[in-house]
């Protein structure tokens, strides 16, 4: 992405599947928000709408896949996979193969991926983990034999490894990746990857005349102000979700639970996304004015929507892996703990237990979970937000006043009424304050 951007292409980055961290790298190098395209969370028409909307004024789309090419929601078909997304949008596939412990076998691997689904258009291969020229020469005849072009490679090098932790890569907002890393990567890609050939393999974008599925057909007036928690502790948001809130009449105002003393004046609602509050628990806990501001707003009925890390922040407190405890907002009647927990990850279909600022009771929506912590107690059915339908109706999340807090991550495009309902609710409940809503 960075190399093609430097070559003059207006690159629009995308990520297949549910992911917040990888897109932060795309955004850093392309200078435009990376968009998630998820064929399980979103209807095909919505995926096309988001893709075509993002491609306005762009030259080249690059979609980073998720897991293996054919891995998705289940083993029986390709639903939710990179392969399904490729076929839906008619995008050619450049297969990235880890060749660090193989040579001729790479050809068999590529042939299997190519032939597993004849409808998929695999146009070339980029090899990763090449030990040197001799290693590359051992692989090339096998690729020629299966008829898949070699488009380039990356060497096995510690200088090209990104730092990781329990949920994957470290978000770029934390500033752990120096500019020099991107320069090293750019230099390597320009030397060993055929960029112009890759660009030439891109397929023309198929533009449809379908009416919008989740965005309004005409501009909406601004009628609510929604504060978005945005700092090192909270930065997991789908850009399209925020765009949908704005399109349906919200003015987005960022704030920092770490640095600010209170939520912005006069907002009609608050959205606290996921992130790593456990890493910044001490700073969050010692910012008592912000915690008090949130508690007061919740008691006054302000709509607050919190996902995953946001749920942890609104809980009684956080216990880290070293058994240290930090008091949090105290709105949700449970503690969140990292101690001895295993990773919870997967797609979820949920049903709303009661009316809330997001949904009506009985509404269903698709979401996903991705967290290492867990709450110390499960909600009583009368206080829960969702029943998880694909997990024996397990109760999930808490509804307190107009607060909706859950481990479930939602994409606002998963249901057409999510964004407009939340904006409408925030517009009705907006307290008096200094922040004025502008018409538009």
Angle, helices 418-429 vs 239-247, to 10°: value is: 60
HSE-up of 363 (CA within 13 Å, CB side)?
18
Residue 69 pairs in a beta bridge with none
Phi, psi for residue 237 in degrees, rounded to 5: -140, 145
Residues 110 and 22: their CA atoms lie apart, in Å, by 25
User: Given CA atoms 88, 91, 92, 95 in this order, what sign does their dihedral have?
Assistant: negative
Catalytic-role residue among 30, 308, 351, 426: 308
Residue 344 pairs in a beta bridge with 371
State the alpha helices, DSSP H only, in 20-132: 22-30, 44-54, 82-89, 105-116
| 308 classed as catalytic | yes
At residue 53's C-alpha, the angle toward residues 47 and 59, to 5°, is 110
Residue 137: partners with Cβ closer than 8 Å, 6 or more residues away? none
Nearest to 173 by CA among 229, 227, 226: 229
3-state SS, residue 259: coil
Phi, psi for residue 344 in degrees, rounded to 5: -105, 120
Nearest to 154 by CA among 187, 123, 122: 187
Report the relative pairing of strands 269-272 and 335-337 from DSSP bridges.
unpaired
Phi, psi for residue 415 in degrees, rounded to 5: -135, 140
Residue by residue, what is the 3-state secondary structure of 330-369?
CCCCCEEECCCCCCEEEEEEEEECCCCCCCCCCCEEEEEE
Q: What share of the chain is helix, strand, coil (3-state, %, to 5)?
A: 30, 25, 45
How many C-beta neighbours within 10 Å does residue 344 have? 12
Residue 204 tokens read as 């023309």
Do 53 and 5 touch, CB atoms closer than 8 A? Answer: no
Spell out a b/e string for 404-427, using b for 16 or more CB atoms within 10 Å of the CB, else e: bbbbbbbbbbbbbbbbbbbbbbbb
Helix (H) or strand (E) holding 319: strand 317-319
The residues carrying an active-site annotation are: 308
């Amino acid at each position: 992405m960075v190399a093609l951007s430097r070559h003059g292409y207006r690159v629009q980055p995308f990520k297949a599947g549910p992911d917040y961290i990888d897109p932060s790298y795309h955004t850093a190098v392309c200078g435009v928000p990376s968009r998630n395209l998820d064929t399980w969370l979103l209807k095909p028409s919505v995926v096309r709408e988001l893709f075509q909307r993002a491609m306005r004024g762009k030259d080249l789309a690059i979609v980073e896949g998720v897991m293996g090419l054919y891995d998705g929601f289940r083993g029986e078909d390709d639903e939710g996979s990179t392969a399904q997304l490729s076929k839906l949008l008619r995008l050619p596939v450049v297969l990235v193969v880890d060749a660090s412990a193989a040579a001729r076998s790479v050809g068999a691997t590529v042939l299997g991926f190519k032939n597993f689904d004849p409808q998929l258009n695999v146009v070339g291969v980029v090899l990763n983990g090449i030990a040197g020229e001799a290693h590359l020469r051992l692989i090339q005849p096998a690729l020629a034999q299966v008829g898949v072009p070699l488009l380039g490679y990356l060497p096995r090098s510690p200088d090209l490894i990104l730092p990781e932790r329990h949920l994957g890569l470290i978000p770029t907002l934390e500033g752990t990746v120096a500019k020099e890393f991107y320069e090293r990567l750019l230099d390597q890609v320009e030397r060993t990857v055929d960029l112009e050939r890759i660009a030439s393999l891109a397929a023309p974008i198929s533009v449809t005349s379908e009416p919008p599925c989740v965005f309004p057909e005409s501009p909406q007036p601004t009628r609510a102000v929604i504060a978005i928690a945005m700092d090192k502790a909270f930065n997991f948001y789908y850009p399209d979700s925020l765009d949908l809130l704005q399109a349906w009449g919200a003015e987005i105002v960022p704030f920092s639970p770490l640095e600010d003393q209170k939520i912005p004046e006069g907002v009609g609602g608050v959205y606290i996304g996921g992130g790593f509050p456990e890493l910044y628990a001490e700073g969050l806990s010692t910012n008592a004015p912000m915690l008090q501001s949130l508690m007061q707003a919740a008691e006054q009925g302000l709509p607050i929507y919190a996902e995953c890390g946001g749920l942890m922040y609104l809980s009684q407190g956080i216990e880290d892996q070293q058994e240290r405890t930090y008091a949090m907002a105290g709105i949700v009647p449970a503690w969140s703990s990292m101690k001895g927990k295993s990773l919870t990850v997967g797609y979820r279909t949920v049903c709303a237990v009661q009316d809330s600022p997001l949904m009506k009771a009985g509404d269903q929506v698709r979401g996903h979970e991705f967290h290492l912590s867990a709450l110390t107690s499960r909600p009583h059915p009368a206080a829960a937000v969702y029943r998880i339908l694909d997990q024996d109706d397990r109760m999930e999340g808490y509804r307190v006043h107009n607060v909706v807090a859950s481990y479930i991550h939602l994409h606002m495009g998963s249901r057409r009424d999510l964004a407009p309902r939340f904006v409408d609710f925030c517009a009705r409940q907006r307290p008096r304050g200094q922040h004025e809503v502008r018409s538009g």
